[in-house]
Amino acid sequence: MNARIRIAALTSLTMLVALIVASTYWQAWAAPDLANRSDNSIQQVSEFTIDRGRIFASDGTTLAKNRIVHAGGQTYYFRRYPLGSLTAAAVGYATQTKSRAGLESSANDYLTGADQTLAGTFKQIGDRLLGSTIHGSDVYTSINLRAQRIATQALGSNCGAAVALEPSTGRVLALVTKPSYNPNDVESHYNRIGKITSPGCTPTSPLVDRATQGLYPPGSSFKVVTAAAALDSGRFTPTSVFQDPGYCIEYGQRVNNFTNHDQKGPEAFGTLSLATGFTDSVNSVFCNIGKRLGMHNLMNYARRFGFDQKPSIDLPSNALAISGLYQRSHLLSPTQEIDLGDPGRVAFGQSLLLVTPLQMAMVAATVANNGTEMQPHLVDRVRRSDGGIVRIKPEELAQPIKPETALELTQMMESVVTSGTGTAAAIPGVKVAGKTGTAENGTGQPNTTWFISFAPADAPRVAVAVVLQNQTGTGGMTAAPIARQIMQAILSSAPNSNS
């Protein structure tokens, strides 16, 4: 019988060895993937035993700090957001039960100290074995609190968003969405967030960051992209001549200027240049440009600016929307764009086109930065618990247009502010370049209004995009003054004072 007992013994030992192998799989091989799962509350709770790094505005004001709680024999570091809703869109929240959002999610590796050097990693393992607290790294953002405050006030009770970028670096100077929420309520007073209402919009969706996730028809603000395509492709110049009968014929049907609330001057302009058509926002001019360029060329330029893909910014990817042509909430592929898109209408920002404020701010910043698009980013630098500092270097994303094109566009955008539809954005003593947008949402419906701009036009320090939902006025009347206040706030701060 002993031979059979040996077989039974071997079978038993094989089963136990299989258990060791399976443990190795879960604890070594699969562990990193499991740690990243959103329902892994064990990981999320245990991360609160780390002295999480703090988050600062560019002037050193604390945006997120820790509150020490002793429970169940452990020390936990819970989050407090001293400024409440002011920077909620950028900073987000970190909680036990509702996971994370904003920088609290995308910069989690920094904040939990997982970004260590080799020596730091060994020290952490030592800390862990000895049961000492692990310290995360502090994150310094590029947020200019002055501009952030002024933008928040200026947006008031509207539903909308504003984004301000530093054109030469891509630093995000302000990121505002309205209505917003208080991140301190997420953990234990979540119902308060559900009760937030706003007269300006339904659903109110305070947790949605309208600046990066909100999709709106860009209206005439998209004419910057159309003009960029027209000029950069060499097919047109600012002095190219157009005939404006007050409408443009598309597929045998009239597309009237009349529907363009943004337009300045008479309904029919007669003979005019591209530059004048831009300054006064004449739809028929751009309709004709769109028809001549065709959907393919127009969208190719849009893609160079970053349309049709998630913008590259240091925020969680689930909080970013793609700008492009949409049909029934589905983004169209390049071939579908050609089949279903209407180049004449897309050229002045209507039809199926939907964009995010962040994308439009990137367009303005690219024109401001001589045609070079910088990667937008919120994290300026990181200070490790050992005192080491990591600076985030500005990165070039793309070169969508030639410097000459950017210069021509700048001049046209300047005349929008000096003598066109955007005079409300003028700042005394500063050259401002801008473009208005007033997008229709169907007959009888209120408009979505825009202003995208940068200043000073000859040495840009700030590029801004402002969007407002449910407006009766035009972009020039509603959004331009807000953009002006944001630009003024940044221009009055010392240049690059905090990086």
Partner 1 sequence: MSARTRELAILVLVGLITMTGFASVYIARQNEISAGSLSYAGFFFALYLVAHFVGRLTVPDADPYLLPMAALLTGVGLTEIYRLNPTDALRQGLWVVIGVAGFSATLIALRHDFRRLESYKYLFGLSALALLFLPALPKIGRSINGARLWVHVGSLQFQPGELGKIAMIVFLAAYLHSKQEVLALGRLKDFGPLLAIWGCAMLVLVATHDLGSALLFFGIFLAILYLATSRLLYVGVGMTLFLVGAAGVYETTAHVRSRVTIWLHPWTTQPVPCPTRGGLLMQRQECESFQLVKSLYSIAQGGFSGTGLGKGTFTLTNGKLLIPDLNTDFIFSALAQELGLVGVAALLLVLMFFVVRGFNIALSVDDGFSKLAAAGLTFGFALQTFIIIGGILRLIPLTGITLPFISYGGSSVVANFILLAGLLLVSQRANEAR
Q: Where do contacts with partner 1 occur on this chain (CB under 8 A)?
A: 1-2, 4-9, 11-13, 15-20, 22-28, 30-31, 34-35, 37, 39-43, 45-46, 48-49, 69-74, 76, 78, 96-97, 125, 128-129, 131
Cβ–Cβ contacts within 10 Å for residue 282, how many?
A: 31
Closer by beta carbon to partner 1, 132 or else 197: 132
Residue 413 CA: distances (Å) to CA of 104, 230, 238: 37, 15, 12
Please give the single-letter amino acid code of residue 266.
P
Of 194, 214, 212, 191, the C-alpha closest to 102 is 212
For the bound state, the minimum distance from the C-beta of residue 116 to partner 1, rounded and expressed in Å, comes to 16
Closer by beta carbon to partner 1, 32 or else 234: 32
CA distance 366 to 463: 9
- Cis status of the peptide bond prior to 357, with omega within 30 of 0: no
Of 486, 497, 479, the C-alpha closest to 454 is 486
For the bound state, the minimum distance from the C-beta of residue 2 to partner 1, rounded and expressed in Å, comes to 5
- Cis status of the peptide bond prior to 179, with omega within 30 of 0: yes
For the bound state, the minimum distance from the C-beta of residue 12 to partner 1, rounded and expressed in Å, comes to 4
Say if CB 360 and CB 156 are below 8 A apart.
Answer: no
Say if CB 377 and CB 163 are below 8 A apart.
Answer: no
The alpha carbon of 165 is separated from its chain's Cα centroid by a whole number of angstroms, namely: 10
For the bound state, the minimum distance from the C-beta of residue 134 to partner 1, rounded and expressed in Å, comes to 12
Closer by beta carbon to partner 1, 22 or else 459: 22
Closer by beta carbon to partner 1, 29 or else 251: 29
CA angle 127, 315, 365 (to 5 degrees): 135
For the bound state, the minimum distance from the C-beta of residue 100 to partner 1, rounded and expressed in Å, comes to 16
Closer by beta carbon to partner 1, 120 or else 394: 120
For the bound state, the minimum distance from the C-beta of residue 27 to partner 1, rounded and expressed in Å, comes to 4
For the bound state, the minimum distance from the C-beta of residue 122 to partner 1, rounded and expressed in Å, comes to 13
Closer by beta carbon to partner 1, 67 or else 296: 67
Closer by beta carbon to partner 1, 8 or else 241: 8
CA distance 125 to 119: 10
